[in-house]
Amino acid sequence: MKAHEAQFRFYEELNDFLPRLKRKKEVAYAFNGNPAVKDSIEAQGIPHTEVDLIVVNGESVGFGYQLREGDRVAVYPVFESIDISPIVKLRDEPLRRTAFVLDVHLGKLARILRMLGFDANYRNDYNDDEIIRISLDEHRIILTRDRCMLFNRVITHALYLHSTRAEKQAQEVLARFDLYTQTLLFRRCPLCNGLIEPVGKETILDRLEPLTIQYYHEFFQCLECGQIYWRGTHYGNILRKLEQITGFYLDDSDG
């Protein structure tokens, strides 16, 4: 059977998944029969979870579109913050609840997201199947550095993180899902992801050091693990770090 050929062009960060010689330009793709465009995209190394718009010969199509001889295919990354409702969407509406499940390599990122107030489910012993199950059962967005996992067909919402640094990863998450106005500082425990609420000083005196009792009067406690927090000498450094990540000024009224 004679092989057919279509022309593909991948845009923006999708190019990071391609060999250097195929980035940011139109490339020929040979195929037999009429494969689904989703399969053809993944065959070139792009996880379907990273794709939000496919345009074939000037018209938007879904993942099920069957590739044909001579097709010109443009593939674009996820636009969670842009309304593309007039054209064919490749998945349901964005998960505006904005809850995450992270792979085992992203413990530092989980702490940052929690300090910013986001629901970030993380354990260092989750395997891929558990992460996918949690994502589907609890409607959580998968955050991962594992490209292979993102080729699983059942995954609908996920983000591949390009950086290896937790601070840069947090910036990727904020930018991709347009979360800058959704931060709620220090509302979640960085250790366990539980919610944090104010607690009366008199109820926790037996857990505090003498100098802490003397100099601090406002305390908070995780409702899940019981960890106690207060605005100690380290608080300013943490706040400045979060400001660098978010790119805007933060103050006590945010958390």
User: Which of 221, 189, 220 lies closest to 115, judged by CA?
Assistant: 189
Per-residue pLDDT averaged across 180-190, rounded?
A: 93
| Dihedral Cα 35, 94, 179, 51, nearest 10 deg | 10
| Residue 84 confidence (pLDDT) | 44
| Residue 82 confidence (pLDDT) | 46
> How many whole angstroms separate alpha carbon 41 and alpha carbon 61?
13
User: What's the whole-number average pLDDT of the chain?
Assistant: 90
User: What's the pLDDT tens digit per position in 28-65?
Assistant: 999 999 999 999 999 999 999 999 899 999 999 999 99
Exposure on the CB side of residue 90, measured as CA atoms within 13 A: 27
User: What's the pLDDT tens digit per position in 114-125?
Assistant: 999 999 999 999
Q: Is the pLDDT of residue 99 over 60?
A: yes
Per-residue pLDDT averaged across 220-243, rounded?
A: 94
